[in-house]
Amino acid sequence: MTAPTPPSPAPSPAPSSAAGPAGPGGEERSGAATEARLIADRALACRGVARLSGGPFGTVATYLPGQRLTGVSADERDVEIAIVATLDRPLPQTADEVRSAVADLAGDRPVHVRVDDIIVEGT
């Protein structure tokens, strides 16, 4: 007669994230969302920026849990910011200020600032 084999331990459940499925390094995903929001806030605070733009096809965006942040797209290669500008100052100065405002968040990545539209305030 053979001795009964002990039961195998139940497999541990996989770790989960309250924010939904996580890619490699679940914290990275949360960090990317925070980074995109900070970039958007800093860009909007620059003189000459009326609002952020998604571009003609809405492709400049960051997808967050339950939300789409239009106007900022950042990955490991570069940062793209699309704005609607005012004519308060020359457009290159507005773009330079936006670039400078997010430089520390971008690190070594190039920051591309795109002016998708221009509005005249008060109209």
Q: Exposed, middle or buried, 42 (CB in 10 Å: 0-12/13-18/19+)?
A: buried
Kindly report the pTM of this predicted structure: 0.73
Quick check: 99 pLDDT over 80? Answer: yes
Cα-based angle 15, 73, 54 (whole degrees, multiple of 5): 125
Report pLDDT digits (tens) over 74-93: 999 999 999 999 999 999 99
